[in-house]
Structures are given as structure tokens and as C-alpha cells.
Chain A
Amino acid sequence: MIRSEILKEIAPILNPHLVVCNIGLPSQELHMIDDNERNFYMLGTMGLASSIGFGLALAQDKPVISIDGDGSVLTNLGTLPTIANNATGNYTLLIIDNGSYGSTGDQPTYAGQKTSLSAVAKACGCDNVVEVQDKDLGPVLQSAIDSDEMTIIVCKCDSGNIKLPVITLDPVVIRHRFMEAVKA
């Protein structure tokens, strides 16, 4: 499965929850599949989906899922120790690991070669790290959200993209409606 197929499959699981979605194609795909005010689309700042989602989870009690990519996590590996050492049960980090920088033309990442992001997350001190194959993600994600413990999911999948338009929503609108959803 490629990322857009995975997002289509897990969209009903994500729908009731606050989601912080990675820059580029992941946000564009989620926007196309199930745009709603509980989604925070990153329009810039590669690498910070995990940190933004984590800050949000620390600041309030609702479940938060950050959807990140292997390439983006590699640009911000330093946040994994921060997440591990300040764990909060309402946070799930879903790393869609297709071994490539999808938004920039599928150049290979090191996560698709010798580097294991689940081993990195464990070494950083994350207690609950699950590596899962794309077709098995749904139940794993659901139980991570339902659980009182913070979970890092590394979902291995194929690289590949679909053609779709950029998000034209104004960033302040994305942020404002998201904050209203947080308060609701």
C-alpha cells in the first residue's frame, strides 16, 4: 500500500480526533480524503509535525495523533528524546515509513536502508514502539488511541504518490478552526 491508500483506510479512525499532519503530500491527501476542522495541516516547516502534536497533547487532554513521515522524522530526530522523556498518554505518533521523500520525488531516505526508526525511537526512551505493516495499521492505531499510554507507530509501506492539488486554505483559517475544535 502507498500512503494515500493507508490514509484512506484509517480516515474513519482519525476522524473524531485531533490530527497534526505532515507537510506536503500527506496533508494534501488527508485534506482530499477527509477535510475537517480537527485536522491541522502543515503548509511549511518540514519535520515539526511530531513536535507540534506533542506540544498540543501536553497542553490539553484530548487524544492527539501526529502523522509524520520517515524523511520528516529524520530531519527532527532530536524530538524523540523530548517525547520519550515527557510521555503523555493522549499522544500517538504515527510515522508512515515508505523509505522515501515522497513530496520531493521519492528520493530514498536512510530509513529505507540501514536505519530503523523503531529502533531509534526505542533507543530514545519511547516505551511503546510498534512497527507494523501497512495492511495491519488500522487496529494498531485504534488501540494506540484508546490506550492510556503514549505509542509510537512505525508503519512500513510502499513509496508512491497520487496527483492532487495543493491546499489553498489560509493558514490562519486552518489554525483558527483547529483551535475551535480543540476547545469544543
Chain B
Amino acid sequence: MNIDKKIADDLVANDVSFVTTVPCKQLAGVIEEVEARDDIFHIPSNKEDEGMGLCAGAFMGGKRPAIIMQNTAIGVTINTLATLTQFYRMPLPMIISYRGELREPVACQVEMAVHTKALLAQLNIPTYHFHWQKDVEEFDNILKYTFMCNKPVAILTDANFWGGYGDQ
């Protein structure tokens, strides 16, 4: 299964047409796939809270948005998630590369990884963790759930899900 294509297919099938991204090595393939789709307007952001602002505007303009980013960004977007996305009740699927988990080669990434789920739980953000490639089968349902409940929803995708860093 090509998980990059599957994620982009599910975004399109769920009418997600506005996607902002902040890059991560693990996300390079899915970002490329999103960029290639005619049905998706892809706008890279310089910072994740900026991206959430763009998504809020796009949602109010009638588009279904999504953000693709790294888990380190949870540390810089808490205020935006609480006072914009949640306060105004807006849907936002967050496809997050979960750095610092199993098969991570960079020690510093672990320092935010250990806080990631706790921060999301503290914010009452529904959170899913993709560890095996087959977990991507849930993605379509997660998107439907996000736009049903008008909440930010986190999909943490770890190195094992993406196939590691060429270490195996």
C-alpha cells in the first residue's frame, strides 16, 4: 500500500480541498502527493499557528481544511488550538509526524515526543496514533469524525508507520 497516496485519496474523497503544510522528513512523500492533486489547494506555512489561522479562514470561506505538521508544533500551537480552533468550534484534521517515537534517530525529538500525547489529552483533542501501515485504514473515518464534530483532531504518525529512516 502507498500510504502517501491513500492519505491524499482520503482527503479528496472527504472534500478536503485546502491543505497547509510545515515540512518534516517523514512527511515529504505525503506533502508531494498533496501538492500534485488538482483537487487540493496546497499552501505551505512558515509556522504551524499561522497555518491554523489560514485553515480557520478557509473553513469560514466554505472549504474543508487540513494541516500537516510535526508534533513539535503542538508546543507552539496550544494557544491557537484553544482560543481559535476550539473556541470558535472549527474542524481541523491535523496529520502529525510523531517524531521521537520508536525508530527515531535524533535524541532531541524524544523530548517533545514524551509530552505530545499529554498535551493533546490536556486539550481534550481526540488523538489517533498510526504505528502500523494498516492503521491508515482508519484515516477516512477520522476525517468524517472530524467534520462531524467540528473539533481539531490529531493523527500521530510515527517513524514505524512511515517505514523508518531507511534504517531497515
Contacts and interface: CB of A to CB of B under 8 A. Distances in A.
Interface of A: 20, 40, 42-45, 47-48, 50-60, 76, 78-79, 81-82, 86, 171-172, 174-175, 178-179, 182-183
B133 interface: no
Nearest to A59: B61
B53 A175 contact: no
Contact of B84 (A45, A59, A178, A182): A45
Given A43-B83, A44-B87, A55-B55, A79 B60 contact: no
A55 B79 contact: no
Given A58-B43, A82-B44, A76 B61 contact: no
B57 interface: yes
B17 to A, nearest CB: 9
B132 interface: no
Interface of B: 18, 41, 43-47, 49-63, 65, 79-80, 82-84, 87-90
The 3 residue pairs across chains A and B that have the minimum distance between CB atoms: A55-B57, A59-B61, A44-B83
A45 B62 contact: no
A42 B80 CA distance: 11
A52 B53 contact: yes
A55 B54 contact: yes
A22 B57 CA distance: 13
Given A52-B53, A54-B57, A175-B60, 15 more contacts: A44-B79, A45-B83, A45-B84, A51-B51, A52-B56, A52-B84, A55-B18, A55-B53, A59-B58, A59-B61, A79-B46, A81-B46, A82-B46, A182-B62, A183-B62
A132 to B, nearest CB: 25
A58 B43 CA distance: 10
Contact of A59 (B53, B62, B90): B62
B50 A48 contact: yes
Contacts of A82: 43-46, 50, 54
A45 B43 contact: no
Contacts of A40: 60
